[in-house]
Amino acid sequence: MEVNEDAKKLGKILSWMLIVILLIVVLFLITWVFNVNQNPPELPEDKTTTTVQVNPFRDLTREEKIIYNSEFSDVRLSIAFNNLSEKGFQMRDINLLESEVNKFKFIYTYLYYQAPETKMSIDEINEYARKLFNTTLSASNLASYYLEEGYQYQIPFPQFKYCFKAAKEKDKILLIDVIEKHPFDCDINVVEYDQSAVKYQLNISYDRINNNYIYKTLIVVN
């Protein structure tokens, strides 16, 4: 009988010990799960980086520069570009060909910088809008320039003391150096010049339709 009593006592003690151990294990697991949720393990840092490919401007060859220079050697063109803003090329990082008003200013200056009293009809304006910009202009947007049966613009800069030199190109965007005019520098065959002579730099984007340049944007970048 004493053996049975001792066995029972031992069984109870072992049972309680087992319960205590299980409780300790359960508490440990609960604590561990809580800590993991509060402080998730750091994942290894991904060292992979995405490289964005930027298409840079490329230097034009001598032959390409001469071809582009021949296009921009027309003084009407340089004066017309310069007259897109009342501040000339002082405006930076703005497409000076975006508005219809500026397109009209360009057309009028291009045609009549030597005859500034001339008046244009909307049909004549749109004839050149199609040739130069492949678009047409609305008479309602040019109403403030309508005077006595025609459109007229007071050209602020009828002269231009610089010349255009094509320097670089990418995706039909030309980087143009605007250099100080000297007796020889505006010759289309002059493609080497002192960079200190560069007064402005322009980005001019274009298309070619029927072998004609269609101007899309002009932005003074420097």
pLDDT in tens, 114-144: 887 899 999 999 999 999 999 999 999 999 9
| Distance of alpha carbon 101 from alpha carbon 87, whole angstroms | 15
Supply the pLDDT for residue 84. Answer: 84
The least confident of 48-57, 104-113, 188-197 is 48-57
pLDDT in tens, 161-174: 888 999 999 999 99
Residue extents of the structural domains in the chain: 1-40, 59-220
Residue with tokens 């980005």: 203
pLDDT tier for residue 24 given thresholds of 50, 70 and 90 = confident
Assess contact for 144 and 113: CB atoms under 8 A. Answer: no
In whole angstroms, what separates CA 108 from the centre of its chain? 28
Supply the pLDDT for residue 162. Answer: 84
Supply the pLDDT for residue 146. Answer: 96
Supply the pLDDT for residue 28. Answer: 67
Q: Which of 61, 207, 202 is nearest to 134 (CA)?
A: 207
Supply the pLDDT for residue 5. Answer: 65
Supply the pLDDT for residue 207. Answer: 94
Supply the pLDDT for residue 33. Answer: 57
pLDDT in tens, 67-77: 999 988 888 88
Higher per-residue confidence, 88 vs 136: 136
Higher per-residue confidence, 8 vs 48: 8
Supply the pLDDT for residue 210. Answer: 85
The least confident of 15-29, 129-143, 207-221 is 15-29
Supply the pLDDT for residue 158. Answer: 79
Supply the pLDDT for residue 39. Answer: 58
Q: Is the overall model pTM greater than 0.75, yes or no?
A: no
